[in-house]
Amino acid sequence: MIAKLKPEDVDVLILPEMAFSGYVFTSKDHIRPYLEDAESGPSIQWAKAQAIRLNAHVQVGYPEKRVANKAEPFKEEYYNSVAFVSPEGILLKTYAKHFLYYTDENWAEEGPSFESMPVEGLGQ
């Protein structure tokens, strides 16, 4: 269905939470094979390519892994995240879900807060 879209068909393409990985995971070990880096993971790369192809903003949900802090480079934190990509294929924002559903609590950390951002042509 998405493959059939043309640039004039859509301004914003919004995919669901955890779009390509599935949603229910029972543990950190269960989700580990699906975790992605926010800059280079397959969901982000897909979103960037679609944003450019469609000349549209793209939002995609994915399971994210982050280094906890620079002092502990081997300690990872996991988040139920969403990425927002510009029509030029630029990652504008990654947001880690703040209010976790009980199935998220099996593996994900809570994000720091709720957020919004202005987006040219779309508003806030």
Q: Count the Cβ atoms, other than its own, within 10 Å of residue 46.
A: 19
Residue 124 in domain: no
Phi, psi at 46, each rounded to 5°: -60, -45
Is 8 inside a domain boundary?
A: no
What's the structural domain count of the chain? 1
**Residue 119 covered by a domain:** no
Question: Residue 33 sits in which domain range?
Answer: 13-106
CB under 8 Å to 40, separation ≥6 — which residues? none
Residue 79 belongs to some domain of the structure: yes
Please indicate, yes or no, if residue 42 is contained in any of the structural domains: yes
The alpha-helical segments, DSSP class H, found in the chain are 28-31, 42-54
Q: Please write the tens of the pLDDT for every residue from 8-52.
A: 899 999 999 999 999 999 999 999 999 999 888 999 999 999 999
Instruction: Give the tokens for residue 45.
Output: 């790369």
Confidence of residue 75 (pLDDT cuts 50, 70, 90): confident
Q: How far apart are CA 10 and CA 24, in angstroms?
A: 29
- Confidence band (pLDDT; 50, 70, 90) for 119? confident
